[in-house]
Amino acid sequence: MKAWTALRAVPSWAYPALLGVLLLALPFLGAGYGLTRQVELTLIMALIVSGLNLSLGYAGQLAIGQVAMYAAGAYTAAILSKAGTTDLLVHLVAAGLAALVVGILTGIPGLRLGSWSLAMTSFFLVLLVPDVVTILEEHTGGAHGLSGIPAATLFGYQLAPEDFYFCVVAVAILWFAAFRNIVASRHGIAFQVLKQSPVLASSVGMSIFRTKLAGYAIGAIPAGLAGALFANLDLFVSLDAFTFHVATGALAASILGGSVSVYGALIGAGVVEYGTSQSTSFQEYSLVFFGLFLLIGGVLMSGGLAGAARKLVARLDRAAGVTRGDAAEAPTRLGRIAGGTLEVTGVTKAFGGNQALAGAALRAEPGRVTALIGPNGSGKTTLLNLVCGYYRRDAGTITLDGKEIGTAATHRIARLGVARTFQTPLIPPGITVRDVVASGRYAADPASFGGAILRSRRFRRVQRRDRDRAAEALALVGLTHLADTEAVTLPLGMRRLLEVARALVAEPKVLLLDEVASGLDEAEVETLAALIRRIRDAGCTVILVEHNFGLVLSLADEIVVLARGSVLASGTPAEIEADPRVRDEYLGVNDEDDAVPAGKEEGV
């Protein structure tokens, strides 16, 4: 286990860097043309698969259009070369841009329509490639292909086959470094949050459409780069390289290698390309093999080969007592929060024939806890969803600091300072406790994709703030020691506290807590109550939806009681506790039933 501990002490990026150096050194180690060509084809396939991993594995967008972007990149490079522009760098830039344009133009309608529309759009996009090539036959060569492509050059120097091999490896290294930087940044976490739940993504200020489009469009770029490299590899481009069969192979490689993985794309592409080149039986029955890869990677081995490797590493870490990262204690201070006044007036909402809310109203002010209680089905969560923008009210107004927010998009309401927790905690799998909390700051401190890839000074500054604020929030809820633990493995009580930390990290004006004490034991409820008091005392506006009446009475400054979608009563805890209508409707206690009948005391 000492050897394993020593291996784990090496930075994780060192291993892929070592692989890159080894690939660059292959020609100097006596590798022949057959091996170097196999590496080139594998890396080209890996570029396509990596784009699929980004859009499907991380961002959760089911689409197989990478082959169309691959074709766009290949024909763009080939046409430029035939026109006299043979510089490989120009080809790569032009092919990447062409693939990006195809991704944006096809992604917009597919994502706007929602549901399975993007999957269907990308499916038909692959089928349209032959028609588009035939229509542009004068430039593309049509069904006969485009031959006679001049050899690539780089800054005026004509590239020999060995030189071109180095270029392929270098492009792959640079892209996978960029891919890794995206995935390991706040944008990668945002993609995983979106994949888990669009509702959760919008609640932390993410634009669902823009985030989905970013994942899909950026995933198109490596396919375009692969196309440019492919066109310059054999100096011939034909439709045979862009069939639905190739799209199926890329999908199989993604699932087998591990779609939620950066380097799983290399593993899956290596298996598919090696099988294709080494076995005629594999080529003849490739669809059967692809189906087996999908079954093995997607069902029998959840997470693919990369997922299996992560589980093995985790097991060895536990056996060797290896801990990841650090969990340094952060100060448990809670700075001043500038709360806002939230006012709901005469709000109604119906779902078909069911009147969920009928003239509901409340006013929540900074530095106060406003509790919203009522029996199941009284409209409490519906009211919170209207405040957050998940539903649109039928009538009435919702304002924050006097500004109407009832018609704003959910992510814009979140950016205005409304944060919330959920009845069932929404925690994305595969990310740490620290990253779950940091995701709450995604919209609070924007940083570009370019900055994430290049690790710019601004990006590093934002990343430090994310980690610092996350550490402070974790200290507040007592989860600092679990910062590097996978969040979904936490018990329910800790996941609820984790949601509070995620909501707090953006310093919201209004904090909506939806049954946050549900499932907590007595000690956890006490911890939660103390935390809510600190949040209130810091100046935040807190709205608490809760069935634990004792907790409500101990925390609330104002209580609003809903019954059948309308406000039954409102007032201080003492007033609400003494109200006979509340006791009857909410607590199920009828004061008349509790009264002692006349004459009983005398035994009559």
Per-residue pLDDT at 322: 72
Return the pLDDT at 599.
Answer: 45
Q: Which of 211, 241, 271 is the last residue of a domain?
A: 241
Tell me whether residue 446 is in a domain.
no
Give me the pLDDT at residue 444, please. Answer: 83
Residues 22 and 101: their CA atoms lie apart, in Å, by: 34
Residue 234 and residue 375 in one domain: no
Shared-domain flag, residues 237 and 347: no
What pLDDT, on a 0 to 100 scale, did the predictor assign at position 62? 80
Q: What CATH number is given to the structural domain containing 541?
A: 3.40.50.300
236 and 347 fall within a common domain:
no
Q: What is the pLDDT of residue 2?
A: 78
pLDDT at res. 601: 43
Closest listed residue to residue 286, CA positions, set 87, 101, 603, 278: 278
Q: Which helix (H) or strand (E) holds 327?
A: none
Query: Among residues 438, 435, 434, 440, which one has the least CA distance to residue 421?
Result: 440
In a domain, 294, yes or no: no
Residues 218 and 358 in one domain: no
Do 113 and 233 fall into the same domain?
A: yes
Co-location of 407 and 530 in the same domain: yes
Q: Are residues 525 and 382 in the same domain?
A: yes
> Where is the domain boundary, 182, 209, 241?
241
Residues 67 and 210 in one domain: yes
pLDDT of residue 592: 52
| 395 & 524 share domain | yes
Take residue 114 and report the two structure tokens written for it: 């929602």
Output the pTM of the full model. 0.88
Residues of the chain with pLDDT under 70: 1, 114-115, 279, 281, 283, 298-300, 323-333, 585-604
Same domain, yes or no: 513 and 376: yes
Of 215, 241, 267, which closes a domain? 241
Question: Domain tally for the chain?
Answer: 2
Structure-block tokens of residue 502: 């995620």
Output the pLDDT for position 604.
Answer: 33
CA distance 142 to 149: 15
Structural domain boundaries enclosing 58 = 32-241
C-alpha 533/C-alpha 196 separation (Å) is 31
**382 in a domain, yes or no?**
yes
Domain check: are 405 and 539 in the same one?
yes
pLDDT at 589: 56
**278 domain-assigned:** no
Residue 326: per-residue pLDDT: 53
CB atoms within 10 A of CB 273: 21
Give me the pLDDT at residue 596, please: 46
pLDDT at 602: 40
